[in-house]
Structure 1
Amino acid sequence: MEDSKEQMVAQADPGGEATPRYGWIAFGLALATGSTIALEIVLTRIFSVILWYHYGFMSISLALFGLGLAGVYVYLFPGRFSRAAAGRVTAQAALLFALTSMAALFCFQWVVSVPEHWPLQVGFRTLLFVSTAIPFFFAGLIVAVPLSRYTERIGVLYGADLLGAAVGAVLVIPLLGWLGGHGAFFACSALAALAGITFSIAERKKGLLIGGLVMLGLAVAGIGMTSNTDYFRIRYVKRGRSQDDVIAERWNSFSRVAVAETRKPEPYRRITIDGGAATPMLPFSGDLQSVNFLARNIQALAYYIHTHKRALIIGSGGGPDILTAKLFEVPSIHAVEINPLIVDYVRNVFRDYTGSPYDLPGVSFTVADGRSFVARSDETYDLIQLSEVDTTAAQAAGALTLVENSLYTVEAFQSYYDHLTENGILSVTRNWTVSSQTMALRTVDLIRRSWESRGNTDLARSLIVVAPGPETALSWGTLLASRRPFTAVELASVNRVAKRLGWKVLYSPVGKNLESINALLGPERDEFLREFPYDVSATTDDRPYFFFFLRPLSFLFGEGDPEDDLDWGSRRTPRILLQLFVLISVLVLVFTFLLPMMIGRLRFGALHGAGRGLMYFASIGLGFILVELSFIQRYTLLLGQPLYAFACILGCILVCSGCGSFVTHRLRDERRAARIVLSILIGGVTIHAFLIPWILAHSMGFSLAARIGVTVATIAPLGFLMGMPLPLGMRLLKRESPQALAWAWGVNGSLSVFGTVLAMVISIFLGITTTILAGALGYLGALAAVYRRAKTTP
């Protein structure tokens, strides 16, 4: 009876408006949200290339905040967004979304292309963030207006919102590959224009339809401009490094890979990933003697110990480690490289230059994540080598998760140990020197924990740590860990080579060693870790942040001595994260809560249940984003390849949530349904936090299809439930405080922004499991709000 009454009201608006065309509105919402999430991801990719990935995170946080702020704006000025005008306003917002997004890209390109603007000062960075956040305000209006004005179809509309976002998250992967970063940006604007056209059709407004066609034409012209002119060519990247020497550039969903000509100290071509991490591509015509200088690199240390028959190279990049192995006559070499663009450059595009080390006799290769490859492999190796394998790029998940590296965790090193022969050696090359050993200490602790977990307690005689000599300008050191103790002959060989090539032995089973490494390997290890100024304890799959060393108090109150042995990025990261945390917290507090209350549009005592309603929507917004981001982090390890991981994880969550939203219109008692759904969701998330790590660990060796199946099977039930609380809450709030509907949507969106930063901070210091449990606490707060409302509702 109640549903029939709502439908009658919907069909007979006081203003005499025609029945809304819900099908067109839902389709327009799907197009708009697909465009929105795709644009967020493209922005992350562009920011990760030109600025550091931290700023990509900040831009997306501000963009998400724009989505939430739109809901607050609709609440503060309800007269501009009446039900009668909802369709027209939504169409206008879609056109403005398309227009401002294109304008933002031109503004962005102007800022970063002018040499005098570098290094970017606060004013220019602020301009970048504001200009890229404005389009998301209009994107927020596209969602906030229909959801708050057509609540009789909230389940269908919110479901379309989520399903559209899922499609956008998947669609952006080929868009980046086909069109590049800037072309994909214009493609997102085209989707927004299509949304405007759809809303115009729903409203039967020819003027708006023509406007939509104009926006679509401009977006298509922009795509053509990116491919046919060099206006949008990237001219400068991180710290203002010029890209004039770039001779080739391609994009995929998780990187921009460029090739540059370099003539210092010797001519070679450098492959850079997102303008930061680099790998050399050497000129090679088949004569190994032309690259015999590789034998003098510190990465070659393991080859001086003894001969190796089988070598596994993780992160083979441009191929120098393959050539080094061939120099030392290793008969069987398997290379693993995660980025297909790099392999294609070396094997195909620049084959005449590189000689394609991947195709040399005795060499095989796999394009995959190294960790996943090792877990699935049945082979054992005499040498497993990781040389400078890392990146400061933000993945396709957007900088929604802090950059982590699952190659450097206890569980990863345990897997390496299991795939070594009895005489096998693990070689790890990372950036440490005689005066800067922080990363070396963490790597030693990783070896200690993983080796001991496999019953190897004689690590003191199975470890060698070498750094470049103080008179060199090099900053890469190498650690060797063997499954058996090194022999006297092998140790003597290392000492001779180190002396001849100017290396410094920091630790060896014989000789004078670094006291800090002795402490890590001795009984006083725990005391040393407590007293050391930085956190150098071993990272795990639950806390995989290998490059983050600051302790909580240092993170909050300072970034350490600028002259200490942390590199620039390790010191810069915490400061930026703290600034971001404070900035987002202030923005959420002021614009989502204080500003609406100060204006006086809604007073908690004046409208029954509004305060508890806002608590409910804040809680589910926080819970959703904490759980979603934790899932992305956890399951990326299982799926390995970033392209499959992002599409599968985020797509599964959003599709299942959309399906859950669609079925809520069949539930008559919203309050009872919300209680049941939230109770099951809290229990399911809690169980998931503790059970799924075990399931994932035992699924790492499965085929890709089976791992995708495990992902879907374990995510889908919770994803389905996660889509239900919001539409149920909107229907409840409509009866008790209808004026607060738009504000509630804004609160939900703004707390999602806060949750992205909170998830990052929690997972860094307490782990991914704790972050998931924090998400369960968020849903518990929503459940408490439902019960409080039930007790006070007459």
Structure 2
Amino acid sequence: MQSLIPLFLIAGAAVGVEIALTRFFAVASWSEYGYWVISIAMTGFAVSGVVMVLGRQVFLRHARWLLPLLPIAMLAVGGAGWIAATLNAFNPLELQNPATAEGQLVNIALYYAALFPFFFLAGLAVSLNFVVHAGEVGRVYGYDLLGAGTGAVLALVLMFVLHPFMLVPGLLPLLAVATMISGGMRWRIAALLVLAATEAAVFGLAAPKVNEFKAIYAPLNVPDSRVVAELLSPRGVYQLLDNFTERLDTDVSNNAGVLGVPAPPRSFGLYRDGSRIAALPNGQPEAAHAPASLDGAPYALLEAPRVLVLGGAGGFRAAEALALGASHVTVIEPEPVLRDALLNGIGPSPAPAADPRVVVSAAHPLTAAGAYDLVDIAGDFLAADDQNRNVYTAEALAGFLARLAPDGIISVPIGIRELPVYAVRVLATAREALRLAGVAEPTRHVAVIRSAWNLRVLIARQPFDEARVQRLAAFADERSFDLSYAPGLAVEGREIWNDLPPISLESSTVDQSGGAQDAVAREAEQVLAGTPPEDAFDRSAVTADRPWLSPLVRLPALGAALARIEILPQQEIGLLVNVAVLAQAVVLALLVSLLPLLARGALRVPLPVLGRALVYFPALGLGFLMIEIAFIEHAALLLGDRTSGFALVLTTMLVFSGIGAMWAGRVAAPVRALRLAVLVALGCAGLALLGIRPAVLAALDLPWAARVVVLVLALAPISLALGFPFPLGLDRFQQEGPALLPWAWALNGAFSVVATPLANLLGHGMGLSWLLVAGMICYTGALLSWPRKRQ
């Protein structure tokens, strides 16, 4: 048993470093670039299998010293790769400028050059263990998966005590331990020396830093700026800044002085991973500015409303609601650090004073009970946490409509400073929510008011009558806001205070027809009537199955997006990164798949067997990742955090799949075991397809630990079943030729590279349900391609 413990440690170090590198990209640049890490890792595993196919006999002859050497080599190249990655001058903003893009493409290539050797050696170590222990495939695969799951948990735990820039150095010692276990005294001394030299080089030469384009960079570097509180967690690095630039970020009228209203107050700025998520009060929250704010629009239509506020903004939002006439305010803050700020304060920012009119609820926004006159979503709510996007779905808005009093309103904010089409998509979602609520004429239940930078969509349970429209128009005119849409409001012939020209990927110029324009007003009535314009941008409703406002660019319009990449906001670049990674992955997968045609002598197996292997192992690589990514998205909603959801789904599926793999190595009837395992997996996926959404909603208000237990119990059966097909396939196919074993490992790795970007594109484009369907199709294909009985 002890001989496979080094494999356990190598797999743990590889997955732990992979997660640590994704956190590095999230803090130093943008989380979208974490896809590169996954791509680099799986590419390394795939190429290692190819090399093992071509040099299998050489590796077997030298396995005795290669097994302890490989983890030492990983340690050395891992440290060197980390140093190179931190010194890389990559700047994502320069990708959007044709004059500077070429240099950034070189920097991306340098990331690959720096990090590929580590994952290549990790894959080589795993595939060598498969070759050396060819008679114990299930056990080897089990140790590999269990080690990977343990590495994911270790990385998650270390995030509570180590800054993301320290995670990679903190995980590298696992590799020294692997060598010390697998080798004799000389290897142990060598491992300690290499570890000491590597860590010394890392701490002396590595220079991880936050890129200057991050939101935190400028305020962090103004005179007298101070970080007055810091919190480390898997959710991110939280920093509370105090400097003269920090103010409550709310949209206030240019006429505030005429109205006798002061500017928004000074505040602290709370940043997570370098992005600003909220303003926290410097003292007790002030709200004298509220009557001049865009957020005050729905309050002008209601008398002493009972308000459900989503997103507390450290107490500012409740104070604003009271200043605008609310009789009672229920605040729900899903982001745990911001919720703790409301209850206990953070650092020098105090908790708001108790007020009998304000209640901080522990309920989830999607399950909160009660009747309200106004559901008011805070302006910074969407940016405060990735999972808050689930509130912007048609199903969620329909649920809020059901909680409203007869004359109640939902107020939904969205930024328009980058692309007005985001607001149009919110309008499409509002229409679908009204349709779900049984409203026959959505056009009469929606109004849109905006400034130059932000917009509020007001969704009413009852149709907007003429009196309400007039009150809203008076509110807008007095503050120089624009009423972009309201029932019965003429689009033409009215004064526009804030110019908002339309942006198109089809045109290289901005339409300037001489006067001020309102891009949202042009499209609002069409979208609400169900006949949106058709161009490069997606204007479909955001749903629970597709809970993303971005990307907006349709896949057929990628060429136009690349041609006008300079006008696209950062969140749209993630789509382009996905497509680029997918294109690279497909090329790699084709190269690995074609290897048998180039090296038939190395494989020495019949073409029909190769054909079946070309279906079986790619199907497993694609299917496992499709199902895993679908569960990660649902787990992120269940746990309220993508990092925790990712780590726990990854850990649970790897650990139980590892147990399944070990079990598979002991079965006497592999064909029957495979059929049963695939049927169990298909049954579990089918149940998830039908019931996962209501199950998640039913569990949202359970304690966090209870939700973790529910998640693990739900994932255990399908994960156990998914552990069977790969080791059973390895064992069966290698009977046709031993060289198929490392090639199968390469195929699985290559198509796992394809699976990650493909799953992201499929999920965003068609929905999470299609990921489960795709996974089920893949495992059915694997079952059908099982090799026939040898003659």
Structure 1 pair 392–347 and aligned structure 2 pair: CA distance change class (3 A) = closer
Which of these residues, 57, 78, 96, is aligned with residue 35 of structure 2? Answer: 57
Aligned-residue offset at 1:766: 1.9
> What aligned pairs does 1:37-76 form with structure 2 within 5 A after superposition?
37-76=15-54
For the pair 1:451 / 2:434, whether they are aligned, the reply is: yes
Give identity over the alignment, percent: 24
The question of 1:234 aligning with 2:210 is answered yes
Q: Which moved more, 1:649-658 or 1:669-678?
A: 669-678
Report the 3-state secondary structure (helix = DSSP H, G, I; strand = E; otherwise coil) of the residue aligned with 2:165: helix
Q: TM-score, normalised by structure 1?
A: 0.83
1:518-563, Cα deviation, whole Å (9 max, x unpaired): 22333xx1xx2363552211121212222122233224x4328749
Cα deviation, residue 217, structure 1: 4.3
- CA distance, structure 1, for counterparts of residue 746 and residue 455 of structure 2: 50
Q: Letter of the aligned partner of 2:732 in structure 1?
A: L
1:781-792 to 2 correspondence within 5 Å? 781-786=781-786, 789-790=787-788
3-state DSSP class of the match of 2:463?
coil
CA 1:691 to 1:264, structure 2 compared with 1: closer, same or farther past 3 Å? closer
C-alpha distance 382-197 of structure 1, shift in aligned 2 (>3 A):
farther
For the residue of structure 2 that corresponds to 1:538, the secondary structure is coil
Residue in structure 2 matched with residue 147 of structure 1 by the alignment: 130
In structure 2, the residue matched to 1:299 is 295
CA distance in 2, matches of 1:175, 1:682: 35
Amino acid in structure 2 at the alignment position of 1:439: Y
- The CA distance in 1 between the partners of 2:172 and 2:142, in whole Å, is 22
CA contact (8 A) 1:38 1:171 kept: yes
| Contact 2:523–2:532 under 8 Å retained in 1 | no
Paired with 1:366 and 1:92, the residues of 2 have a C-alpha distance of: 56
CA drift of 1:495 comes to: 1.8
Matched, 1:254 2:229: no
Residues 653 and 460 (structure 1), Cα distance of their counterparts in 2 relative to 1, 3 Å cut: same
Question: Closer, same or farther in 2 for the Cα pair 1:28/1:314, shift >3 Å?
Answer: farther
1:581 counterpart = 2:572? no
Distance change (3 Å), C-alpha of 1:553 and 1:132:
same
Over aligned residues, Cα RMSD in angstroms? 3.5
Task: Give the whole-Å Cα distance in 2 for the aligned partners of 1:115 and 1:583.
Answer: 19
Opposite residue 161 of structure 1, the aligned amino acid is D
1:408 partner amino acid: Y
The answer to whether the aligner puts 1:387 opposite 2:378 as a matched pair is: yes
Provide the residue aligned with 2:526 in structure 1.
Answer: 519
Query: Contact conserved, 1:625 with 1:752, CA < 8 A, in 2?
Result: yes
Q: 1:111 to 1:685 in 2, by over 3 A?
A: same
CA contact (8 A) 1:43 1:60 kept: no
Separation of aligned partners in 2, 1:217 and 1:694: 52
CA shift for structure 1 position 112: 4.3
Counterpart of 1:17 in structure 2 is none
**Distance (whole Å) between structure 2 residues aligned to residue 330 and residue 423 of structure 1:** 15
In structure 2, the partner of 1:378 is 369
Matched-pair contact (CA < 8 Å) for 1:404–1:545: no
Q: Is the 8 A contact 1:308 1:383 kept in 2?
A: no
Q: Which residue of 2 aligns with 1:10?
A: none
CA contact (8 A) 1:315 1:338 kept: yes
Cα distance in 2 for partners of 1:61, 1:466 equals: 43
Cα offset, 1:251, TM superposition: 3.4
Q: Distance in 2 between matches of 1:533 and 1:718?
A: 39
Aligned CA distance change for structure 1 residues 486 and 239 (closer, same or farther; 3 Å): closer
Match of 1:495 among 464, 473, 476: 473
Read off the aligned partner of 1:559 and give its amino acid letter.
A
Pairing partner for 2:310 from 296, 300, 314? 314
Q: Which amino acid aligns with 1:254?
A: R
Q: CA deviation at 1:158?
A: 1.4
Note if 1:30 corresponds to 2:26.
no
**What's 1:5 paired with?**
none
Q: Output the CA distance in 2 between the equivalents of 1:86 and 1:385.
A: 65
Query: Which of the residues 392, 399, 404 maps onto 1:420?
Result: 404
What is the CA distance between 1:141 and its match in structure 2?
1.9
- For residue 186 of structure 2, the aligned residue among 190, 207, 210 is 207
Q: Which whole-Å deviations, capped at 9, do the CAs of 1:197-220 have from their partners, x for residues lacking one? A: 3333xxxx2222123233544677
CA contact (8 A) 2:659 2:723 kept: yes
Q: Aligned letter for 2:473?
A: N
- 1:694-746 Cα shifts (integer Å, max 9, x gaps): 54455555555664454334322211110011111121122211022111111
C-alpha spacing 1:154/1:466, structure 2 compared with 1 (3 Å): same
The answer as to 2:415 corresponding to 1:431 is yes
Matched, 1:722 2:722: yes
* Alpha-carbon distance in structure 1 between the residues aligned to 2:188 and 2:405: 68
Q: Distance in 1 between matches of 2:190 and 2:354?
A: 54
Q: 1:137 to 1:391 in 2, by over 3 A?
A: farther
Residue in structure 2 matching 1:538, options 535, 538, 541: 541
Structure 2 CA distance for partners of 1:41 and 1:436, relative to 1, 3 Å: closer
Q: 1:74 to 1:292 in 2, by over 3 A?
A: same
Q: Is the 8 A contact 2:83 2:207 kept in 1?
A: no
Question: How many angstroms does 1:675 deviate by?
Answer: 3.7
Partner of 1:107: 84
Q: 1:313: how far off?
A: 2.7
| CA–CA separation in structure 2 for the residues paired with 1:567 and 1:559 | 8
Note the C-alpha offset of 1:378. 2.5
Gaps of 5+ in 2: 248-265, 492-520
Match of 2:67 among 69, 90, 95: 90
Output the CA distance in 2 between the equivalents of 1:278 and 1:374.
Answer: 18
CA apart distance, 1:506: 0.7
Shift in alpha-carbon separation, 1:125–1:360, aligned structure 2, 3 A:
farther
Q: Could you say if the C-alpha distance between residues 723 and 730 of structure 1 is closer, same or farther in structure 2, counting changes exceeding 3 Å?
A: same
Check the 8 A contact 1:507/1:517 in 2, yes or no.
yes
Which of 379, 387, 391 is equivalent to 1:407? 391
**SS at the partner of 1:609?**
helix
Q: CA deviation at 1:587?
A: 2.4
Q: Which amino acid aligns with 2:579?
A: L
- Deviation at 1:42? 1.7
AA of the residue aligned to 2:365 = V
- Trace 1:291-690 onto structure 2 (pairs within 5 A): 291-328=287-324, 330=326, 332-342=328-338, 351-352=347-348, 354-357=349-352, 362-365=357-360, 373-389=364-380, 405-432=389-416, 437-457=420-440, 459-468=442-451, 474-486=452-464, 488-513=466-491, 514-522=521-529, 525=530, 528-529=531-532, 531=534, 533-555=536-558, 557-559=559-561, 562=564, 567-569=568-570, 571-590=572-591, 592-594=592-594, 597-598=597-598, 602=602, 609-642=609-642, 644-690=644-690
Provide closer, same or farther for how the CA distance between residues 660 and 358 of structure 1 changes in structure 2, counting only shifts above 3 A.
Answer: farther
Answer whether contact 1:375 1:701 (CA < 8 A) is retained. no
| Per-residue Cα deviation, 1:248-273 (whole angstroms, up to 9, x for no partner) | 35432132333445544865433233
- Residues 181 and 511 (structure 1), Cα distance of their counterparts in 2 relative to 1, 3 Å cut: same
- Alignment gaps of 5+ in structure 1: 1-22, 396-402, 469-473
Tell me, in whole angstroms, the C-alpha distance in 1 between the residues paired with 2:642 and 2:14: 21
Indicate the residue corresponding to 1:271 in structure 2: 270
Task: Name the CA distance, whole Å, in 2 between partners of 1:618 and 1:162.
Answer: 18
Counterpart of 2:221 in 1: which secondary structure? coil
2:252 maps to which residue?
A: none
Distance 1:109 1:341, change over 3 A: farther
Task: Report the Cα distance in structure 1 between the residues aligned to 2:585 and 2:15, rounded to whole angstroms.
Answer: 19
Contact 1:98/1:192, CA 8 A, preserved across alignment: yes
Aligned to 2:490, what secondary structure does the other structure show? coil
318 and 133 in structure 1: CA distance in 2 versus 1, 3 angstrom threshold: farther
Counterpart code for 1:386: I
Q: Are residues 404 and 44 of structure 1, via their aligned partners in 2, closer, same or farther at CA, if it must alter by over 3 Å?
A: farther
- Whether 2:140 is the aligned partner of 1:157: answer yes
Residues 232/308 of structure 1: CA separation in 2 closer, same or farther (3 Å cut):
farther
The answer to whether the 8 A contact 1:48-1:394 is kept is: no
Q: Evaluate the alpha carbon distance shift between residue 339 and residue 131 of structure 1 in structure 2; reply closer, same or farther with a 3 A threshold.
A: farther
Query: In the TM superposition, what is the alpha-carbon distance from 1:135 to its structure 2 partner?
Result: 1.3
